[in-house]
């Protein structure tokens, strides 16, 4: 038994040695083959480098690149071509590689159209001519759009932004005919005004009122128990820093600084400019302001003030004409002021049922 085990061990050792020797022999053969292949690859690479150098030398002779091309064309392009040629060399022969290199070199000007890029960049670097820069942002004139219109003058586009309350010029409103002279027949008697004096009527008639210029008539109170147009004009101009002074178009006194029911015509009506009595530029452009002197949170307006205001409103309606909605509406300040800026003007004690007459 012992001898059999020894024989088996010796046989196994012999087999292992034989297998190891054969493995070493195969390893040596494979290593030799690999070395031969590596040497062949190196030789091929060296031959390819020489071929690519020979092929790359005639480039400047065929297509000499200008200075501008050197600036814009990146330098790593020939390196990329060499790497591509090396990759192709592993698959193709030397003659095929040289032909492919020549083919790749010829389409270079097609891939990079340098003249067009240079022209575009030169155009961008050089200052653009003034007429082109002006012609791009000029909007087409649109007479229908009232808020903004493009008016071209002197070769340059001027954008004029108008407030939406101002309408296009539609001519002037003719003043109402003067009252007839006193005659024998009763219908020939003139219309009698109690508070509209001849000087006030003349000032209202002389103003150049445009058609559909005024869309509202707004009634205010001064918030003071006394005052007149001159005092309010000084306060608005020097204290509130309003350029045009008196914010209202008309002022009606209460008998303290001026007569009870006396009507004063402001400079804004004579010049036909927008008021400053409403907290909205749009409404100031289309609304007339009438101020009754008094603080109507503590007192009430006098009967003379209400009668004078009624006569003034009816005459202004005739003078300014009708709007698209008919006669000009009459509103208290608290109803027409934007809700963002609420106000109690013309006061809590003002008789608001009086507005139903209009």
Place of tokens 């139903």: 356
Q: Hey, what are 126's tokens? A: 């050089």
H or E segment and range at residue 276: none
Find the range with the poorest average confidence among 72-76, 191-195, 240-244, 307-311: 72-76
- For 301, counting Cβ atoms within 10 Å of its Cβ (0-12 exposed, 13-18 middle, 19+ buried), the class is buried
CA angle (74 as vertex; 69, 76 as ends), nearest 5: 135
User: What pLDDT score was predicted for residue 36?
Assistant: 85
Check residue 90 and report its DSSP letter.
T
> What is the rounded CA–CA span in Å between residue 215 and residue 5?
128
- The answer to whether residues 256 and 226 touch, using CB atoms and an 8 Å cutoff, is yes
Contacts of residue 172, defined as CB under 8 A and 6 or more positions apart, other chains included, come to 208, 209, 210, 211
Give me the helices (H) in the chain, please.
Answer: 2-56, 59-62, 67-72, 77-89, 94-105, 108-111, 114-125, 130-135, 198-206, 229-234, 267-271, 281-286, 303-320, 333-336
Task: Encode pLDDT of 308-340 as tens digits.
Answer: 999 999 999 999 988 888 899 999 999 998 888
pLDDT band at 57 (very low <50, low <70, confident <90, very high): low
Highest average pLDDT, of 30-44, 124-138, 270-284, comes from: 270-284
pTM recorded for the entire structure? 0.52
Q: What is the mean pLDDT of the chain?
A: 75
Q: How far is CA 64 from CA 76, 107, 155, in A?
A: 18, 15, 46
Task: Give CA–CA dist 231/246, Å, rounded.
Answer: 9
Contact assessment for residue 190 and residue 172, using Cβ atoms and an 8 Å cutoff? no
Q: What is the pLDDT of residue 5?
A: 73
Measured CA to CA, the distance from residue 97 to residue 80 in angstroms comes to 15
Look at residue 31 and give its three-state secondary structure. helix
Q: Which pLDDT score is estimated for 184?
A: 54
- Cα(139)–Cα(161) distance, integer angstroms: 13
Q: Specify the pLDDT at position 7.
A: 80
Return the closest-CA partner of residue 357 out of 288, 310, 325. 310
Better-scored residue on pLDDT, 233 or 97 = 233
Position 87 confidence tier, pLDDT thresholds 50, 70, 90: very low
Q: Give the span between the Cα atoms of 82 and 250, in whole angstroms.
A: 92
Q: Please give the C-alpha separations between residue 348 and each of 214, 298, 299, 333, in angstroms, as whole numbers.
A: 27, 8, 9, 12
Band of the pLDDT at 241, cuts 50, 70, 90?
very high
């Amino acid at each position: 038994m012992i001898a059999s085990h020894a024989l088996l061990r010796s046989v196994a050792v012999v087999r292992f040695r034989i297998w190891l020797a054969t493995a070493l022999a195969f390893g040596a053969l494979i290593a030799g083959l690999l070395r031969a292949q590596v040497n062949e690859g190196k030789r091929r690479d060296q031959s390819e480098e020489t071929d690519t150098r020979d092929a790359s030398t005639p480039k400047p002779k065929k297509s000499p690149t200008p200075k501008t091309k050197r600036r814009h064309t990146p330098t790593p392009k020939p390196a990329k071509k060499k790497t591509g040629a090396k990759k192709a060399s592993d698959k193709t022969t030397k003659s095929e590689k040289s032909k492919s290199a020549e083919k790749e070199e010829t389409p270079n000007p097609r891939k990079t159209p340098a003249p067009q890029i240079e022209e575009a960049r030169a155009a961008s670097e050089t200052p653009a001519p003034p007429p082109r820069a002006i012609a791009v942002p000029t909007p087409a004139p649109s007479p229908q759009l009232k808020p903004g219109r493009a008016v071209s003058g002197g070769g340059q586009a001027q954008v004029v932004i108008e407030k939406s309350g101002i309408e296009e010029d539609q001519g002037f409103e003719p003043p109402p005919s003067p009252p007839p002279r006193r005659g024998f027949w009763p219908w020939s008697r003139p219309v009698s005004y109690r508070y509209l004096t001849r000087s006030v009527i003349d000032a209202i008639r002389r103003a150049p009122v445009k058609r559909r210029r005024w869309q509202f008539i707004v009634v205010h109170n001064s918030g003071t128990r006394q005052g007149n147009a001159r005092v309010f004009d000084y306060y608005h101009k020097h204290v509130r820093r309003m350029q045009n002074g008196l914010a209202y178009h008309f002022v009606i006194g209460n008998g303290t600084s001026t007569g009870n029911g006396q009507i004063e015509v402001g400079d804004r009506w004579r010049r036909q400019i927008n008021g400053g009595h409403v907290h909205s530029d749009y409404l100031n452009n289309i609304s007339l302001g009438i101020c009754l002197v008094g603080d109507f949170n503590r007192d009430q307006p006098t009967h003379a003030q209400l009668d004078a205001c009624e006569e003034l409103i009816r005459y202004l309606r005739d003078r300014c004409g009708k709007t698209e909605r008919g006669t000009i509406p009459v509103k208290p300040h608290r109803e027409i002021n934007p809700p963002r800026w609420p106000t109690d003007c013309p006061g809590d004690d003002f008789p608001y049922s009086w507005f139903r007459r209009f």
